[in-house]
Amino acid sequence: MSATVVRYLPYIVVVNFLLVATLLVVLGRLATARPLKELPDGRQNAAEAVLDWFVAQARSIHPESVTLIAPFLATLFLLILFSNLLAILPVPILNIPPTSYYSGPLALAVIAVVGVIVICAKMRGGRAAVKHIFWPNPLQLVAEASHTLSLSLRLYGNIAGELLVASLATQAAPYGIPLIIYTLGLIPASVQPIVFTLLTVNFLATAVPAQGQPRGHPGGPIARAP
């Protein structure tokens, strides 16, 4: 990257995030432009296919709060996925994924962790949310901070690492090899949003226990490891 690009990188990250967000809003509007039908077809079918997985995850956490949890998970997933996929665009400035600069993943991780607490407060009340942060001891606060760090570092490390390898390969062998590296880069770019969302689901499942189940044992497909 040239010195000018490095200098303006924080602004580029924000602009790229905004572009991705705008694109997602436009896609969302397009998918729901026509009146929704009971038997979906076309765009509505595609949108429902995307949302299906999030609805299933939300249902496994708390079946009555699907409308609260599923949009949160879907927003995080789609924003990260489309941000990562910016790397394959053949446009110079636009192809810097916002998730390859540490501020981007950190912001997403803070949103995820704070969002979990806000959803907990909405579903179980403010006292329960405070109890979730400080129970069984105030050191739980450190755990919340470490969740933020681990979520953000994982995403940042994968995407920035992939980009670094691609740029090194481009310097070493400009033709052919970078194509392979970029193609392989699609794997972490599509797996990392899943991992980020699944870990958020895990945090949510411990913060909001399913009805009739003890705290910390959410049941469903992603039970927390003992």
Partner 1 sequence: MKEILLIFIPALTLVPTAVAAALAMRKISSTALDGMTRQPEIAAQLFTSMLVSLALVEALVIYSLVVALMLAAKV
- Residue selected from 51, 68, 94, 153 as contacting partner 1 according to rule CB under 8 A: 153
CA distance 78 to 112: 13
Nearest to 151 by CA among 84, 198, 219, 118: 198
Binding of residue 221 to partner 1 (CB under 8 A)? yes
Q: Smallest distance, Å, CB 202 to partner 1?
A: 7
Q: Smallest distance, Å, CB 156 to partner 1?
A: 8
By C-beta, is 107 or 153 nearer to partner 1? 153
Q: Any idea which residue has 């499942």 for tokens?
A: 205
Q: Smallest distance, Å, CB 83 to partner 1?
A: 18
CA distance 33 to 129: 37
Which secondary-structure segment (H or E) carries 114? helix 103-124
What single DSSP character describes residue 145? Answer: H
Binding of residue 1 to partner 1 (CB under 8 A)? no
Q: Smallest distance, Å, CB 213 to partner 1?
A: 17
- Residue selected from 32, 150, 183, 190 as contacting partner 1 according to rule CB under 8 A: 150
CA distance 129 to 209: 12
By C-beta, is 32 or 150 nearer to partner 1? 150
Range list of H helices, 86-219: 103-124, 126-134, 140-172, 177-207
Three-class SS state of 168: helix
Name which of residues 160 to 219 contact partner 1 (CB under 8 A): 161, 191, 194-195, 198-199, 202
What does the binding site for partner 1 look like in residue numbers (CB under 8 A)? 150, 153-154, 156-158, 161, 191, 194-195, 198-199, 202, 221-222, 225
